Structure 1
Amino acid sequence: MDTIEHSLLAFINTQPDQLYHKGRWIYGVDKPFSGLFMVMSGATRLYRLTEEGDELVTGFCLPGEWCGLPDLSSGCYTGYAQALDTCAVRCLSPALLEKALAGQGSRRDMYSLMSNVIRQNKKRYFQISKARADVRFAMFIQDLSRRFSLRGYSPREFRLPMTRGDIANYLGLTPETISREITKLEQLNILHFRRHFITIQHPRVLDALILNK
């Protein structure tokens, strides 16, 4: 973790939690930038609208992850962040950002840090979308496992706050395909699902399934 991220975390940790209930928007497209957000608990889905008005899920923000980087030219948000369940979020306002960046080389360093988040999301999506349909869901679960692990949570047992429809939208599949893949992985005894909770029973087998795609 670099100095700038340490500085941002030091300031975000002084802020109170703001609760957003399921379905509530944390920020929306074309709204003026009001700050960066870190999810403390729960999760959000990130999406934008197509020209036809359809929702296109672009990612999910888990505990300990940032969202809310604006478009640099307009100073407005470019998409939507919506709570998937009761979600605790902390906001780093523009004024706090100024303080957090005091003494740093340039404000562009902060945008560089946040741009890394965007690049990681795009890289993650590109890798998943290039896989065969029957492997995409396995890669999605593997990615969630890694991200939960990085934040100190169990990599083998965690909750899926998003719906199968949201997962299907993100992966470019149908909800029916997601349901079939869940059934298949359960029959292979790789995963166990109970409502929204998932247990990766054989992580190495899951990894091998992806590597042999």
Structure 2
Amino acid sequence: MRADDRIAIADDGAGIVLAPAPGEGATGTALVFIPGAKVDPWAYAALLSGLVTDDGLAVVITTPGLNLAFFDLRPLSTFTGLAPDVGTWMVGGHSLGGVRACQLASDAGALVLFASYCANDLSGSALPVLSLAGSEDGLSTPQMIADARHLLPADATMIEIPGASHASHASFGDDGAHPGDGTPTATDAEVSAVVTDQVGELASRLP
């Protein structure tokens, strides 16, 4: 990814910013992405890079202290301020990072869950929501995501990626294997393609 001259990369400590390089067709829409617990933020860079190169989005991957995003109490504005030229913001996260994203969703234009679900009730909101899950996920299992479905708006888009696990082998984060991840049968490229297509489609519908 660092060798791809279509992507401009910056890291100021609060977050890693991946943005379309000048002349690469930036759309003015971006995603604040919150990592899962104890996962290096850079582990998500390759997975999310297609949003930059294919969809023209900027991505801010937050860098919480101790890699524990759930206890990061900074507001969304801490991270949106890292890309001041963006007009429309989505917020999302992986695993426990997604739980935190749900708490910040009222300050964003859309919510994207990556192998995650909400603990707070957003069912009465008009917020566009996309949930990306893995059929082989042993932590945020399909049943757990189904059990929390009632906390999302009725029109939330629920996508289960066949063969994707929780994090190992880069299904939702290139951080190596973790206990309980599940065994993926989908390739990294297959999972990344679904992420790029689905998040890009959601972004295209936002004002």
**TM-score (normalised: structure 1):** 0.28
Larger Rg: 1
Considering fraction of residues, name the structure with more helix: 1
With a CA cutoff of 8 Å and minimum separation of 6, indicate the structure with the bigger relative contact order. Answer: 1
**TM-score (normalised: structure 2):** 0.29
